[in-house]
A and B are shown apart, each in its own frame.
Chain A
């Protein structure tokens, strides 16, 4: 059974998880936490990306061009054979058994039987060739359907994501707040809080470009704590941030976005870039 661990403990172990250096039980516990924690999932993805770069420090001199070409040849041959195995008819041929005529030396019956046999073999050959063609066509159609299914799946995922976003900003129980600051061309954001679904959807604009190693972090501020709702990196100043967090309607005091070190901080370490006080709308 997977043991429960808190956010801080899981967060601290993400670096080791990124290089797969956790013991099995701890690994299971951290993964279980991350599956329901947006912050940890984002952090883990970034740490895994960083860890993958360590691969570039390994020298490749041990594997020369000859080996490279040999492996390449084997790989492509396997792929080619793999592809053929989908479209080539089976090599198993049906057995054609001949039954000895019962009529002994009766020449006429033997001749007739021979003609029938030749005709039967010809018909059987035609049927088998036809069946092979049908099987090839069916295989191609199956592969085509699989590809279309994959495309359909990704489109379906995109549509679901869009629908989810729309639901998060247009629901009956959605409260709208605008996060702003002063200045010309100032950054601003709309926060859509669906109090029934506990979803938070923030659409930000004009966010200043971040320096390397920095990120924006969204905070839900209550009287007793500042709750991180995730980090984000704007694209051309724009960003959509989504989070799920259950918070009683009267507990929210403010929303704020701060600039933090990449990966986010347990608590805000800088003044808000944009903010709004709850109840000001």
Chain B
């Protein structure tokens, strides 16, 4: 894809669509925006493929950083619009767990199986975290909230939120170290 091969873009899209679409849908919860943000995410990856440096991290980390950034930008813009119009309450719904817990979809069975296995491992790792640590992580990752905002949202002291976030990430990293080589 770095050399501008359109076929590579198609293959890249097929490989990562299930994950990217899942994250965008989870963050935004708005069908119109979801399609738009997914497209813009892959477009940015296509245009900036030459900036990806494998030594600095995996494709997964790089692409999902773009994904979250685009989706959270859109979420925050929508939140600002709502606040300006004063016609809707806070937008943190996007950070609450999704009701639909269906597995990721993919047209490639082996890829779907790989995603399903990875999803199971990550869900197991998250399930092993104390509830308040898991909540802090999810509010940060899917809700795009800072630790200060999480403290306000949950009514917990900022120091407590920081400790929970730190412990949660340490445990998650340890539990998921077996996946590290797979993401290269």
A80 at the interface (CB under 8 A from B): yes
- Bound form: Cα–Cα A79–B47 in Å: 9
| Contact yes or no, B102 A61, CB < 8 A | yes
| Contact yes or no, B23 A75, CB < 8 A | no
Question: Looking across the interface, which residue of chain A has its beta carbon closest to that of B56?
Answer: A45
Question: Looking across the interface, which residue of chain A has its beta carbon closest to that of B184?
Answer: A49
Question: Looking across the interface, which residue of chain B has its beta carbon closest to that of A147?
Answer: B3
| Contact yes or no, A76 B147, CB < 8 A | no
Question: Looking across the interface, which residue of chain A has its beta carbon closest to that of B19?
Answer: A55
- Bound form: Cα–Cα A48–B176 in Å: 12
Given known pairs A53-B176, A61-B102, A76-B9, the reply for A12 and B166 (CB within 8 Å) is yes
CB distance from A260 to the nearest CB of B (A): 12
Chain A contributes a number of interface residues (CB within 8 A of B) equal to 53
| B177 in complex: contacting residue of A14, A70, A212, CB < 8 Å | A212
Q: How large is the interface on B (under 10, 10 to 19, 20 to 34, 35 or more residues)?
A: 35 or more
Interface of B is mostly: helix
| Contact yes or no, A49 B126, CB < 8 A | no
Which residues of A sit under 8 angstroms from B137, Cβ to Cβ? 19, 54
| Contact yes or no, B166 A60, CB < 8 A | no
Which residues of B sit under 8 angstroms from A18, Cβ to Cβ? 169
A68 at the interface (CB under 8 A from B): yes
Question: Looking across the interface, which residue of chain B has its beta carbon closest to that of A154?
Answer: B53
Which residues of B sit under 8 angstroms from A15, Cβ to Cβ? 165-166, 168-170
Which residues of B sit under 8 angstroms from A82, Cβ to Cβ? 46-47
- Bound form: Cα–Cα A21–B151 in Å: 11
Question: Looking across the interface, which residue of chain B has its beta carbon closest to that of A61?
Answer: B102
Which residues of A sit under 8 angstroms from B13, Cβ to Cβ? 71-72, 75
